[in-house]
Structure 1
Amino acid sequence: MPDDKVKRRLTTVLCADVYGYSRLMEADEAGTLEALRRSRAAIARLVERHDGRIVNTWGDAVIAEFASVVEAVQSAIEIQQEISDQESAAPQANAMRFRIGINLGDVMVDGTNIYGDGVNIASRLQELADPGGVVISSSVYDQVHNKLSVGFDCLGQRPMKNIAPLTSYRVTLGGQAAGHASIPMEENRTPSESARAPRMGDRREPSSSTNAVSDWLGKLPRPVAVALTVSAFLIMINLFSGGHKIWFHWPVAVILFGAALRMVLGRRPEQDRR
C-alpha cells in the first residue's frame, strides 16, 4: 500500500472472540453455529446502538470500532450481559462465552478495514479476559475510569505475543468481572490470580470450625469457658515461642483446678437453699 494512500486515525477497537470455540464445535456443530449466529446478531445490534461499526468477522471473532471510548466499553458490557442471558439455559459446559478486549490507539485505514498495532493490542487483550469478561488497555482506562459506574482491577503488565507489555485492566460489575457471574472460576484462571490476596476492605465470613468452637464454648458455664480459653492461649504461646521446653501444664492445671473449685463452691449454696 503506497505511503500516499495510507490513512490513519485514532479509534477505539473492540475485539471479541469465543472462548473454547473448537471444543464447542467438536461437541455440537449445529448447536454451536446457531449460538454463534445468535450472539453475532446481538453484538451487531449493540455495537450499532453505541454508534460503532463492525469492521470484520472471521471464524468466531468480531472486530468493531467506535469513535467514543465510553460507548465502546458500555457496548462491551451490554454484549456480555445479553449473551450471558441468552446462554443461561444452556448446559454450563456448552454455553457460549465471549472474551472481549478494547484498545484506544492509532490504526491504518484501508477502505472499510483497519490495521496496525491498535488492532493487534485489542486482540491480545481479549486473550487476557475471562470467559464472559472484558479487559481494557491503560489508554482506555484513562478515558473511562471516572465516567462509568463500573470497577476496574489492574492486571499489571502482562506479556503478550509480539506486543510489548502494557498495563491492562479488568472491568468489574458489583465486585465481579463483567459477565462473569455464571462462569466457573477455575476456568481460564492462572495460579497467580487464584492465589492473589483479597483486596483491602473485603470481608471474609468466619470459617465453620471457628463458629462451632464459639458455639461450644457458649454452652459451657462461664468459669469453665474462661479457663479453657486462657489455657488454650497459654498452650499456643508455649508451642510457638519454644516447643522444646514444655511449661504450660503447670499454669493450665492451676487454672482448670480453680475453675472446677469455683463450680463446686458455687453449687453448694444452691443445694443448701433447696
Structure 2
Amino acid sequence: MERRLAAVLAADVAGYSRLMGRDEERTLAQLKTLRKTLVDPAIAAHRGRIVKSTGDGMLVEFASAVDAIRLAVKIQRDIATQNESSEPELRLELRIGIHVGDIIIDEDDIFGDGVNIAARLEGIARPGGICISDDAQRQVRGKIDVIFDDIGVQNLKNIAEPMRSWHVQLGGQYAAAQLSGPHHRKIQAGNGVFSHCS
C-alpha cells in the first residue's frame, strides 16, 4: 500500500434526510443536477480526484491544499447564488471539511487519519460552510485571498488529539453569522494581514 501527503475534502448535503422525507424525487433530481452542472466540473477544473461518492456526499483528493480550498469556496458561493431563487425549505446546502495529512492509497480508495479528520471537520461545518484543519490553513496562508475565522481547538469524534480548526468566510449572511461566534481571530490569507478580535 502506498502512502502520500494529500489535501482531502469531505462534503455532504446538510439535512439530507429531511429533504428526502419531504420529497425524494425532487431532492435526488436536484442533487444529480447540482453534481453534473456545478460540482463535478469544478472539481475537475481544480485538479481534484473524486475518490468516493455516496448518495449525499463525496470524498475528494487533491495534491494541493490551495486547489482544495479554492474549489470549496467556488462551490459554496455558486450554490448560495443558485439558492437565492429557491424556497428556503427546498435548498440544497453542502457542508465541507478539508484537512491536509498522510493518507493510505489502496487501489482507488484512500484511508487513514487524513481522511477521518476531513470527515469530522465536515461534520462541524455549518450548512453552506467550510471548516478546515490548522494543517490545511497553514498550507494556504498567504497564498489565497480568503479570510479564516479561528474556531479554537475542537474535540473531533474518534480523533485522538484535539485539533485547532478554522471556518472559511464566504461573505454575506454566512460571514455575519461566523463573526458572532465566541472565537473570532481573523486571518486574511491573501496578504498575511492579521487582525484579532475579542
Please tell me the TM-score bracket, short chain as reference. Answer: 0.7 to 0.9
Preserved CA contact (<8 Å) 1:158 1:167: yes
**Counterpart residue number, 2:63:** 67
**Counterpart residue number, 1:14:** 9
The structure 2 residue matched to 1:36, chosen from 23, 26, 31, is 31
Kindly provide the CA deviation profile for residues 18-63 of structure 1, in whole angstroms up to 9, marking residues without a partner as x.
1000000001111111111122222111111011111111120111
Counterparts of 2:138 and 2:94, CA distance in 1: 24
Kindly provide the CA deviation profile for residues 200-223 of structure 1, in whole angstroms up to 9, marking residues without a partner as x.
888xxxxxxxxxxxxxxxxxxxxx
**Counterpart residue number, 1:23:** 18
1:165 positional shift: 1.4
**Counterpart residue number, 1:168:** 165
Asked if 1:92 is matched to 2:78, the reply is no
Counterparts of 2:64 and 2:133, CA distance in 1: 15
Counterparts of 1:52 and 1:195, CA distance in 2: 32
Counterparts of 1:167 and 1:90, CA distance in 2: 35
The structure 2 residue matched to 1:110, chosen from 97, 106, 109, is 106
Report the residue type matching 1:27 in the other structure: R
Preserved CA contact (<8 Å) 1:157 1:168: yes
Change (3 A) 1:148 1:198: closer
Q: How does 1:222-241 map to 2 (within 5 A)?
A: none
Counterparts of 1:168 and 1:62, CA distance in 2: 21
Q: Percent identity?
A: 42
Preserved CA contact (<8 Å) 2:152 2:183: no
As a proportion of its length, which structure holds more helix?
Answer: 1
Counterparts of 2:3 and 2:170, CA distance in 1: 34
Kindly provide the CA deviation profile for residues 137-164 of structure 1, in whole angstroms up to 9, marking residues without a partner as x.
1111001121111100001111111013
Q: How does 1:1-274 map to 2 (within 5 A)?
A: 6-41=1-36, 42-163=38-159, 164-174=161-171, 180=174, 196=182
Change (3 A) 1:145 1:33: same
Which blocks of at least 5 consecutive residues in structure 2 are unaligned? Answer: 186-194
Bigger Cα Rg:
1
Please, what is the CA RMSD of the aligned residues?
A: 2.3
As a proportion of its length, which structure holds more strand?
Answer: 2
Counterparts of 2:183 and 2:65, CA distance in 1: 31
1:11 positional shift: 0.6
Which blocks of at least 5 consecutive residues in structure 1 are unaligned? Answer: 1-5, 203-274
1:198 positional shift: 7.3
* Partner SS, residue 117 of structure 2: helix
Tell me how many residue pairs correspond in the alignment.
186
- Which deviates further from its counterpart, 35-44 or 134-143? 35-44
* Partner SS, residue 120 of structure 1: helix
* Partner SS, residue 79 of structure 1: helix
Runs of 4+ in 1 over 6 A off after TM superposition: 197-202
